[in-house]
Structure formats: structure tokens, C-alpha cells
């Protein structure tokens, strides 16, 4: 006679064996990797790097499918509604946890996707133009205090808008956050003096920071970067708790078999933690930060709560109240 424990053990083995066989056989056809942003951005570059590696190690073609629009919502929705069989993946960023704060979405952010792996994060730099007589965060905050609502923080929306809003909320100073159609036009206006400051995305801003066309004041993450080692973090200079690093991750539709998710996770983690990829990530203004599916299940709701508070604190226009 089987005991209850023995029956449970047999049942568990019966469930696990097909999953193990499934993972061993996977993949048997091409895999589509959706990038919900335009070609050329960090999401796209990291996605293509991952696709090349997975194609080589898994022995199947990886099809990179750029589906930009609505701060990533269009491509993300396409991935969320795909068959959960491991043959559709999506590259996500911090926008995934910011969108539900300000938009009505066609999917549930907490349940639509199963995260395969967080890959890493890129930093931003609080920068001012050369015409503004400001040389430190302390100077900028003092100027904002003397001229409340007059100092223009140029933003291109999305992650940069939340980075600006977080700075306003934690610094307790009133800035004029102005939306631009892209990060580059925002940066050019700061350089030219039409705007005062902005949170520059790491890689595009580096040549301008090094040439002196932009003055970097502080890093937007919680630790300094090798690329700009002399710049302090905002947390170091008094804007305590400031952290607006833009993270990147690979996910699959909810319901994708766990064995397949973990097979993909292990391959992606192995690739991005290699010494060669660590050097490439640093050169891109990013750092490796691998997280497991279980860790991401905790990170996502915490991020949504964080950005919801930011939106409320600065009275950000929201489609969701």
C-alpha cells in the first residue's frame, strides 16, 4: 500500500518527467523575440545579442521582431497574448512597471508575463548645459529654490519623465518638466541653453559629457559608474534614495512551462555574466544584474508601487487613478 506521502511523491515525479523531457527537446522551431521599441536602442541591442547567443546554443533561428509604439505597450501586448510555449519572448525595460501608473493597459502587468531573466541596467546622468552657472547638484537645487518652477528639466517622456519626477519629489524643489519628442532633441536644447537640465541616457550623452558640451552633475543610480568615476550619485550628494536606473529583462507569456523558462534563464545568465559581455555592457553604459524569475515576481510589484508614489507626489497626469 502506498502512503499519502508516497502518492504525492509519485504524482510529483509524474508531473516533472514530461516537463524535463519537454525542456530537453525544446526548441524544435524558430523563436520570435519581440522588441517593443525601435531598432538601435539599448533594448534592441541587448535583445539582438541575446538572440545571437540563443540561436547558437539552442540550434534554432531567433527572429527579432521590432514592434515599437506607446512606450512599449504595443509589442508587450503582442507577447502577452502569444501562445505560452516558449516560442515567443519579449525584451522589456523599466517602462513595463511605469506604464500601468499612467496608462490603461490591454494586459495585467502583474500576471501577463513570466520573466525569464533580468539582464542588467543602464545609468542616467543629471546634466546641465555649459551656459548655466551651475557646477553641482547643490548649485542646481539652490537655483531651483530661488526660482521655483522656472528651471526647465527637459524630458522625452517614459523613463526619463519618471526620472525627472523622482528628482523633483525627493529634492523637494519645484522644476518645470517639459516633454520633448525624443531624448536627443531634449539633450540638444540643454546644450543650447533652451532648457536648463535633463537626465541624459548614458551612451548617447557620453561624447557630449566628455567634450564639455554637457556638464554632468551626478549619476542617477545607487552606485558610481566606471565610465564616469568622478561623478557622485545623487544619493551621495543629498538626494537620498534616488535610483532611476533603467533595467532590461527577457520575458515570456504567462503559462510558459517552467522547465523551458529555466532553460532560457540559464543560457541568458551564462551569456551575460561572461567576462566578454561584462566589458561590452560597461562600454554601453550598463551593468550586469541577473535576476531569476522568482526574484522578478517580487521586483515588479515593488517597482509599480514606487512609480505610483512618484506620480502621485508630483501630480503626474494619469489615465489610472
pLDDT tens sequence across 286-296: 889 999 999 99
**Residue 237: pLDDT above 90?**
yes
How are beta strands 62-66 and 31-35 bridged, if at all? parallel
120 has pLDDT over 80: yes
Whole-number average pLDDT of the chain: 89
The mean pLDDT value for 258-268 works out to 96
Rg of the chain, C-alpha, whole Å: 22
Distance CA 263, CA 250 (A): 13
Rounded CA-CA distance 118/249 in Å is 4
pLDDT, residue 206, reads 83
Inform me whether the pLDDT recorded for 1 exceeds 80.
no
* pLDDT, tens digit, 9 for 90 and up, residues 133-163: 999 999 999 999 999 999 999 988 788 889 9
* Mean pLDDT of the 281-305 span: 93
The strand pairing partners of 201, in sequence order, are 124
Percent of the chain with pLDDT over 70: 92
The C-alpha atoms of residue 232 and residue 228 are separated, in whole angstroms, by 9
Give the pLDDT confidence score for residue 184 in this predicted structure: 83
Cβ–Cβ contacts within 10 Å for residue 258, how many? 14
| DSSP secondary structure letters along 186-202 | HHHHHHHTSS-EEEEEH
- Separation of alpha carbons 270 and 89, rounded Å: 18
Q: DSSP alpha helices (H): ranges in 147-244?
A: 158-171, 183-192, 202-211
Determine phi and psi for 218, rounding to 5 degrees: -165, 160
Question: pTM to 2 decimals?
Answer: 0.85
Given pLDDT bands bounded at 50, 70 and 90, which one contains residue 14?
very low
Query: Which of the 8 DSSP states describes residue 91?
Result: E
Mapping DSSP to helix (H, G, I), strand (E, B) and coil, where does residue 102 land? helix
177-212 residue pLDDT tens: 998 877 888 999 999 999 999 998 777 788 899 899
Backbone angles phi, psi at 250, to 5 degrees: -110, 135
Higher pLDDT, 90 or 122: 90
For the chain, which domains are there? 4-121+246-313 (3.40.190.150), 124-219 (3.40.190.10)
**Rounded average pLDDT over 34-63:** 93
Going along the chain, which residue ranges are E strands? 31-35, 62-66, 88-93, 113-122, 124-128, 152-155, 176-179, 197-201, 215-219, 246-253, 286-291
Higher-confidence residue of 223 and 234: namely 234
Amino acid at each position: 500500500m502506498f502512503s499519502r506521502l508516497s502518492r504525492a511523491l509519485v504524482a510529483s515525479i509524474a508531473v516533472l518527467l514530461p516537463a524535463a523531457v519537454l525542456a530537453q527537446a525544446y526548441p524544435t522551431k524558430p523563436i520570435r523575440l519581440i522588441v517593443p521599441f525601435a531598432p538601435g536602442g539599448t533594448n534592441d541591442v541587448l535583445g539582438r545579442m541575446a538572440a545571437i547567443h540563443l540561436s547558437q546554443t539552442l540550434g534554432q533561428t531567433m527572429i527579432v521582431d521590432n514592434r515599437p509604439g506607446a512606450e512599449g505597450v504595443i509589442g508587450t501586448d503582442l507577447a502577452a497574448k502569444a501562445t505560452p510555449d516558449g516560442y515567443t519572448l519579449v525584451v522589456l525595460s523599466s517602462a513595463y512597471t511605469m506604464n500601468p501608473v499612467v496608462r490603461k493597459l490591454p494586459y495585467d502587468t502583474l500576471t501577463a508575463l513570466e520573466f525569464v531573466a533580468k539582464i542588467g541596467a543602464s545609468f542616467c546622468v543629471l546634466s546641465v548645459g555649459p551656459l548655466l552657472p551651475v557646477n553641482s547638484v547643490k548649485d542646481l537645487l539652490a537655483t531651483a529654490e530661488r526660482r521655483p518652477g522656472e528651471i526647465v528639466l527637459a524630458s522625452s517622456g517614459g523613463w526619463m519623465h519618471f526620472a525627472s519626477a523622482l528628482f523633483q519629489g525627493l529634492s523637494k524643489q519645484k522644476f518645470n518638466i517639459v516633454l520633448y519628442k525624443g531624448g536627443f532633441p531634449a539633450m540638444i536644447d540643454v546644450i543650447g541653453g533652451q532648457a536648463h537640465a535633463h537626465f541624459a541616457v548614458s551612451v548617447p550623452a557620453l561624447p557630449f559629457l566628455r567634450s564639455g558640451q554637457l556638464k554632468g552633475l551626478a549619476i542617477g543610480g545607487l552606485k558610481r559608474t566606471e565610465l564616469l568615476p568622478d561623478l557622485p550619485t545623487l544619493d551621495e550628494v543629498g538626494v537620498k534614495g534616488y535610483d532611476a536606473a533603467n533595467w532590461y529583462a527577457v520575458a515570456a507569456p504567462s503559462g510558459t512551462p517552467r522547465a523551458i523558462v529555466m532553460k532560457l534563464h540559464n543560457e541568458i545568465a551564462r551569456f551575460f555574466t561572461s567576462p566578454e559581455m561584462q566589458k561590452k555592457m560597461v562600454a554601453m553604459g550598463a551593468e550586469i544584474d541577473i535576476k531569476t524569475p522568482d526574484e522578478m515576481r517580487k521586483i515588479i510589484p515593488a517597482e509599480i508601487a514606487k512609480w505610483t508614489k512618484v506620480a502621485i507626489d508630483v501630480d503626474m497626469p494619469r489615465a489610472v487613478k
